[in-house]
Amino acid sequence: MFEMMTTPLLGAPLVADGGIPWLTLTTFLPLLAAIALAFVPKQQFNIHRNGALLASLTTFLVSIPILFNFQARIPVAEGQPFTFQLMEGPIEWIPSLGITYTLGIDGISLWLVMLTTFTLPIAILSTFSAVNKNVKEYMISLLILETGMIGALVSVDVFLFYVFWEMMLIPMYLIIGVWGGDDRIHAAVKFFVYTMVGSLLMLVGILYVYFKTDVNGAHSFLLTDMFAVVQGLSAQEQIILFAGFFLAFAIKVPLFPFHTWLPLAHVQAPTAGSVILAAVLLKMGTYGLLRYAFPLFPDAVKLFAPYIAILASIGIVYGAIVAMVQDDVKKLVAYSSVSHLGFCVLGLVAMTPQGIQGGMFIMLAHGIATGGLFLCVGILYERRHTKKIKDYGGVAKAMPIFATFFMIMVFASVGLPGLNGFVGEFLAILGTAQSKFLWFDAPLVSTIGEASWQFQSMENGTFPAPGQMAGPEYTALAFAAVAASGVIFAAGYLLWMFRRVMFGPLTNPENQKLRDLNGREILYMIPLILMAIHMGVFPKFYLSRMEPSVDQFLRYMDANVTAKDTVRVERIDSSYVPVKSLRHDKGEEAEAGQ
Amino acid sequence: MEQIFSNDFHYLGLIVLFPLLGAIINGVFGSKLPKSVVDIIASGAVLLSFFFSILSVNILVQSPDSVLTYTAYQWIYTGSLSLDIAFMLDPLSAMMILIITGVGFLIHLYSTSYMAEDPAKWKYFSYLNLFVFAMLLLVLGKNLLVTFIGWEGVGACSYLLIGFWYTDDEKAAAGQKAFIVNRIGDFAFIVGILLLYSETGTFDYIQIHEMVTGSAAIAIAPVAAPAVILIFIGCTGKSAQFPLYTWLPDAMAGPTPVSALIHAATMVTSGIFLLSRLNGLVSMSHEAMWIIAIVGAITAFFAATMALVNNDIKGVLAYSTVSQLGYMFIGIGVGSFVGAVFHLMTHAFFKACLFLGSGSVIHAMGGEQDIRKMGGLKKWMPVTRMTFLVACVAIAGIPIIGAGFFSKDLILWGALSNVHAAQIEPVAAGGIQVQYLISQALPAITSGSALEIATMAEVISWVVYLLGVVTAFMTAFYMFRLYFLTFEGECRADEETQAHLHESPPAILIALIVLAVLSFIGGWTGWPHVWAPEGAAHYMLAFEHWFDPVFQTTQDYRIANRFGDGYAAWEWGSIIVGSTMAFSGVGLAYLFYRKRPGLPRAVSERLAKVHTALLNKWWVDEIYDFLFVKRAIQAGKASYDFDRFFLDGLLVNGAGFVTASLGKAMRHLQSGDVQRYATYIVLAIVLALMALL
């Protein structure tokens, strides 16, 4: 026992062929920097700021090889929903409990990791003038947060994932609670309690599945081992466990009606906190759904899919119309997140290639666009110390460069083709329209009763001519149509806000004094603008690296869901060569060790 | 459609690229460049595009293919969905790119002078170039998605340019309204193309056309009607048709050259372009076509009534544009796609000329737009006046010397001879109805057996035709009212304004003259059929023949008029009625505003209620505001209250409160009293046993 406990964390070669462990480096670089900064005296603001910036930039640079070493087409792990590559480990961490240190990446986590490393330097750069108290602690929080986020994304061991997941919680709680606005404590506590409730539910679920695993007579937290359990779960188990997982992630997303912590947290959080919250933390919810909740409990997902879609559709419209009546710019952007993430969840749960890739693309696009919007709000707030729309007006006259950047971000968020927002939303809507996964199960509908009336009436109706399209196909189209209506509302609330803030006469003397962006602000806005354009003009660059993973995921779902022919697998040319599964490899390794 | 696909006609890429480059250069560096360089970059970019457009069209004419394509790159690739950024040049897009780059260049040229004083000229030209880029994407797109990119892009540029002088909140509001109203249409557009995609599995125009005209048509038939109607709703937004036209009159807040380019010549015609592009699909559903025709007719009529009393020189032109676009939709609705695009072209010439003329006037008047304060301007502005007059003649539809005569006549003739009136039963699933009509319906009609059944359709057909005719009359009237009040009679401007009146500089005049010439001769490419003798038909009907490869149904419709072989007399009748309307409209305007200037007041007093309704534009804006805008904000407020007080207040905080209270209550259980613990244990065991037994 003692011997096992002392197994060195980084003792064995992390990467099988002795290469450079990019994932580990990317994950722990910020943490190391945070530890280093802890030894620097508190008053050395510049060292803390520049040090954190340098660390996050280095992390970004270190993450670039991940992108280049990532191969879109690799042999697929048979019977698994995911094929991880650039694997590091598995190294035994707590062998008695089957806990390992295993990192890996696939098309689903790749871009989120890149998004995280890309966003952090920008967020840190934006704090240089915004945060002047406790700079040291702030920078350390941000860096620990980065390690938590990246770690959660690259973990292939569920226990490890949970550790990183909880690791994100504390710094964010501090960022809101210490550096936030007037009502920061309330916001931080609400954020913490809300997320914690979800996390605990998920932990129960994780442990339950863990005790079901059986690898040579022992339990395992390795993700790949957990998926082996799926077939053995009864429908009832799936439903209950899925509910737990789903709740944890739905809160994080946040999906209507679990979103009420978000506006509060966003409004109270400092700019960098809002940016990271919007860009990455929310995506942990959608990522978790895709990585854990969906593949672990396929039948439960099928059962709940239409209802999740209903919540997502409500969220799209509800978030938008609530955003419309906000008098606080930041709150408006916060509610717009509810709307955008609704698109994302709808796309994911549609279980079509376009839907899932659309949802994943929205995760990235929303990160860039909404992150950018929060930065813009932060820039205004720093100058005027107000977030009330009515305090502004005519700002474009005083800040022309800012106006241009803000406009582009607004257009990206509105979903203007050519910028990044459109691609994801379009694919998600398209995928939804094509989905069979969102059809209500016939027996379920009859038991619920009310829900069936509309399909009945559509079936009997004359719109359109009977024969080709009838019945449940409308379910998917109806979801798509509701989602598409979001494009109207998005234009409504964002452009209206933009007009009230930026256009009109510049009458307020306070606003006349506003100075335009300085070099540092331009420096951190430009990468976001370029990304928004690049993602809109060349989406294939991003999609092509997601596509094989999504395809494999869909094949897995198709194979494991009882209701056949509901998951849409479209790719005909599957040029993968199936190889032995990861679990198998590990077993062999264990044997060799003995 | 048999054709060899040459997939590398890269001129198409260049045509699109130049304006984009112009926009980027001026957008990024423009503020630091001298104004003359900004002018040269912006106008030069469009001129280069125009040059390559001519080259490309020339190649298309000589090519054996009716379509030239160019695939720039693969844009999206997921699962079975593959979307390319690809362009196609066929007779339809050829006409469009010539208009966009040709008229576009003239308007750029005009703008160099018109916007000379504006400090943000570089931004203006950057937006304008970006608009040309987006518009070219829209018309050159080989699939619906490229068109949609352009479609939204022109909307965004329109938003930016309407609100160009954003420090005026009214102008910023007009831009915003344009964008949001367009988005309502876009919503329907997206749903429409998704519906279409769900049955066809493609967004490619050529493939869609092949499917709807081939054996796959049966499968598509059920979605044809809803898809076309939804796409048409998208078109009502962009092309300012009832009920989504309200943004266009407001859009006049933008600089006048913008009104000429975007809100008259190009962007607003994209709806007509799109439906013409999808003509195969549109012709599959006669219900949808009826709706298009009726909406077009209603819009043409009501917009014309609002133009009758408007006193803003640009306002009249704006309503006139809405009305003329209505004509084009009538053309599409009655199956006369050629008529629609013909009118699109002539309208682009004369309406651009009119708008630019009005800009010239507004400039000279020092920003004044009220025609009641003008008059007699021909003394100071002879060239502007002449070109304006030529364009007025064109839009009024004076025979032979007005381009509008030819195109309007083609549409009205289409409405009158419309084969749909002969529709005797819903179209057989998937069959191409025109062929069906020729083989089945026409013999039935000529023999008289189908007449009773077709009554309803015939009534609608006549209503559409008559609305078109009345609108023709009103058009001639309000245009010459505008002309007489602006250029003839005594000048009603104050001394100071009069002292500053001057003819515009050459850049403006050149643009006006070229457009006036086009308005004069532009119609001579498509004479009425009855005027074209057998031998000269090739030249006299050149416009129609140009579109033969695009509108497969053109000839069918031409033959399948409901008057059969005896159509010549009817067509003559149509021409005479149309011309009479034009002349009498001009005559009435002359009577009202030249001969008996007291008459307009007398008439408006006699018809006070109607006059008020017209002046207030039928209160449509107010109605919409009440019905939709206010409701939406109410819904938002209600939802926000629900969010704060119910979801967050009652449920979330309530759950927190209950937990906290429970915690407090439970605290009393932990008293440290061992005896009490024992009691609890016993109680629990008893309860458990009871539950088990």
Res A489: pLDDT: 86
| Among A439-453, B405-419, B585-599, B675-689, the least confident range | A439-453
Most confident segment among A220-234, B302-316, B631-645: B302-316
B169–A396 CB contact, under 8 Å: no
Q: Which of B322, B395, B368, B315 is nearest to B615 (CA)?
A: B315
Q: Are residues B493 and B593 in the same domain?
A: yes
CB–CB contact B198 A502 (8 Å): no
Q: Residue with structure tokens 């800009």? A: B359
Q: Residue A485 and residue B187: Cβ atoms within 8 Å? A: yes
| Over residues B622-650, mean pLDDT | 78
In this structure, the answer to whether residues B365 and B448 fall within a common structural domain is: yes
Q: List the single residue in A260, A325, A570 with the smallest CB-CB distance to B647.
A: A260
Cα–Cα distance measured from residue A561 to residue B414, given in angstroms and rounded to the nearest whole number: 57
Instruction: For residue A571, give how far its alpha carbon lies from the nearest alpha carbon of chain B (Å).
Output: 5
Return all residues near A197 (Cβ < 8 A) that are at least 6 apart.
A247, A251
Q: Select from A429, A503, A539 the Cβ nearest to the Cβ of B169.
A: A503
Number of helices (H), then strands (E), belonging to chain A: the values are 26, 2
* Helices assigned H by DSSP within B83-120: 91-114
Position with higher pLDDT, A590 vs A546:
A546
What's the CA gap between A555 and A213, in Å, rounded?
22
Cβ pair B454, B423 in contact under 8 A: yes
Using the predicted structure, report yes or no on whether residue B642 has a pLDDT greater than 50.
yes
Tabulate helix, strand, coil % of chain A (nearest 5). 70, 5, 25
Judge if B644 and B599 occupy the same domain: no
Confirm if A429 and A480 have CB atoms less than 8 A apart: yes
The predicted pLDDT at position B419 comes to 62
Q: Give alpha helix (H) positions in B278-312.
A: 279-282, 286-309
For B282, the domain range is: 201-519+564-608
User: Rounded to an integer, what distance in angstroms lies between the CA atom of residue B206 and that of residue B146?
Assistant: 14
Instruction: Give the nearest partner residue to B163 out of A503, A543, A550, using CB atoms.
Output: A503
Cβ contacts of B75 on chain A, cutoff 8 Å: 538-540
Q: In this predicted model, which residue has the larger pLDDT, A139 or A215?
A: A139
What would the mean pLDDT of A348-375 be, rounded to a whole number? 93
From chain B, the residues in CB contact with A347 under 8 A are none
Averaged pLDDT of chain A:
82
- Which range has the top average pLDDT, A139-148, B379-388, B424-433, B594-603? A139-148
| Predicted pLDDT at A464 | 33
Beta-carbon separation of A433 and B194 below 8 A: yes
Res A593 pLDDT > 50:
no
Alpha-carbon separation of residue B628 from A339, B249, B635 (angstroms): 20, 19, 10
What pLDDT is stored for residue A385 in this prediction? 85
Q: Which pLDDT does position A12 carry in this prediction?
A: 53
Q: Among residues B547, B573, B608, which one ends one of the domains? A: B608
Instruction: Note whether residue B112 is domain-resident.
Output: no
The pLDDT, as a whole number, for residue A463 is 34
Question: Cβ contacts (< 8 Å) between B168 and chain A: which residues?
Answer: 504-505
pLDDT of residue B141: 92
Regarding whether B574 and B634 lie in a shared domain, the answer is no
Largest Cα–Cα separation, chain A: 80
> Which range, of B107-116, B397-406, B499-508, B549-558, averages the lowest pLDDT?
B549-558
Same domain, B295 and B210: yes
A-chain CB neighbours of B187 within 8 Å are: 484-485, 487-488
Is B532 among the domain residues?
no
Q: Is the pLDDT of residue A468 over 80?
A: no
Q: Find the helix or strand (DSSP H, E) in which A94 lies.
A: strand A85-94
Strand partners, B76: B83
Q: Smallest Cα–Cα separation from B124: which of B133, B113, B111?
A: B111
> Is residue B166 assigned to a domain?
no
Q: Which of A422-431, A572-581, B21-30, B400-409 is predicted least confidently? A: A572-581
B659 plus B582 within the same structural domain: no
Residue B80 lies in a domain: no
- Report whether pLDDT(B191) > 80: yes
Asked if the model's pLDDT at residue B4 lies above 70, the reply is no
Which residues in chain A touch residue B81, judged by CB atoms under 8 angstroms apart? 353-354, 427, 430, 570
| 0.90 exceeded by pTM | no
Q: Which of A325, A405, A479 to probe by mutation at the B interface, max B CB count within 10 Å?
A: A325
Q: Are B166 and A495 within 8 A, CB to CB?
A: no
End-to-end CA distance of chain B: 81
* B633 interaction partners in chain A (CB closer than 8 Å): 324-325
What was the pLDDT predicted at B217?
72
- Which pLDDT score, from 0 to 100, does residue B1 have? 37
In the predicted model, is pLDDT for residue B524 greater than 90?
no
Closest CA relative to residue B317, chosen from B389, B411, B249 = B249
Q: How large is the average pLDDT for residues B214-232?
A: 82
Helix or strand (DSSP H, E) at A104:
strand A99-105
Among B577, B608, B639, the domain boundary falls at: B608
Give the Å distances, CA to CA, from A430 to A235, A546, A570.
30, 17, 14
Beta bridge partners of A85: A105
- Residues B249 and B310 grouped into a single domain: yes
Question: Which one has a higher pLDDT value, B23 or B642?
Answer: B23
Going from the C-alpha of A408 to that of each of A412, A498, A499, the distances in angstroms are 6, 11, 14
Percent of chain A at pLDDT > 70 equals: 87
Say yes or no to pLDDT of A594 above 50.
no
Give pLDDT, residue A467: 33
Residue B686's region, left for phi above 0, alpha for psi from -120 to 50, else beta, is alpha
| Residue B108 belongs to a domain | no
Grade residue A112 by pLDDT with cuts at 50, 70 and 90: very high
Within a domain: residue B183?
no
d(CA A35, CA B306): 73
Residues B457 and B588 in one domain: yes
Residue A370 in this model has a pLDDT that exceeds 90:
yes
Q: What is the pLDDT of residue B20?
A: 93
In tens, the pLDDT along A491-502 reads 888 998 998 888
Residue type, B400: I
- At residue B69, the 3 state secondary structure works out as strand
Q: What is the arithmetic mean of pLDDT over A372-396?
A: 88
Q: Regarding predicted confidence, which is higher, A26 or A511?
A: A26
Domain contains B400: yes
Q: Output the pLDDT for position B472.
A: 92
Q: What band does A591 get if pLDDT is binned at 50, 70 and 90?
A: very low
Name the closest residue on chain B to residue A430, using Cα atoms: B194
- For residues A450-456, give the mean pLDDT: 39
Q: What pLDDT is recorded for position A459?
A: 43
Does pLDDT of B232 surpass 90? yes
pLDDT at position A347 is 93
Of the residues A430, A502, A538, A558, the best mutation for testing chain B's interface (the one with the most B CB atoms within 10 Å of its CB) is A430
DSSP code at position B234: H
Chain B hits for A492, Cβ within 8 Å: 180, 183, 632
Q: How far is A396 from chain B (nearest CA, A)?
A: 8
pLDDT band at A458 (very low <50, low <70, confident <90, very high): very low
Q: Show the tokens assigned to B99.
A: 């208009």
Task: Output the pLDDT for position B323.
Answer: 93
Query: Are B671 and B604 within one domain?
Result: no
User: Does the pLDDT value for residue A581 go beyond 80?
Assistant: no
Q: Are residues B673 and B576 in the same domain?
A: no
| Model confidence band, residue B441 (pLDDT cutoffs 50, 70, 90) | low
Q: What is the pLDDT of residue A470?
A: 41
Q: A439: exposed, middle or buried (C-beta count within 10 Å: 0-12, 13-18, 19+)?
A: buried
Over the stretch A289-316, which tens digit does the pLDDT of each residue have? 999 999 998 888 888 888 899 999 999 9
Contacts of B152 in chain A (CB under 8 A): 416-418, 422
Q: Give me the torsion for CA of A249, A251, A255, A259, rounded to 10°.
A: -160
Contact: B636, A477; criterion CB under 8 Å: no
Same domain, B418 and B275: yes
Distance CA B485, CA B376 (A): 8
Element (H, E) at B559: helix B554-559
Per-residue model confidence (pLDDT) at position A313: 92
Q: How many helices (H) and strands (E) does chain B have?
A: 32, 2
If one compares B443 and A134, the residue with the highest pLDDT of the two is: A134
The verdict on a CB contact (< 8 Å) between A547 and B159 is no
- Shortest CA distance to B574 belongs to which of B423, B477, B468, B480? B468
Classify residue A75 by its DSSP letter.
Answer: P
What pLDDT sits at residue B296?
A: 93
Of B152, B219, B656, the CB nearest to A417: B152
Total count of domains within chain B: 2
Averaged over A336-349, what is the pLDDT?
Answer: 92
CB contact (8 A) between residue B222 and residue A463: no
The mean per-residue pLDDT over the stretch B61-82 comes to: 84
Cβ proximity of A317 and A343 under 8 Å = no
Q: In this predicted model, what pLDDT tens digit does every residue of A507-566 receive, in sequence order?
A: 888 878 888 888 889 999 999 999 999 999 999 899 988 888 898 899 888 888 887 777
B52 domain-assigned: no
Domain identity same for B335 and B434: yes
Mean pLDDT within B180-204: 88
> Is residue A125 predicted with pLDDT exceeding 60?
yes
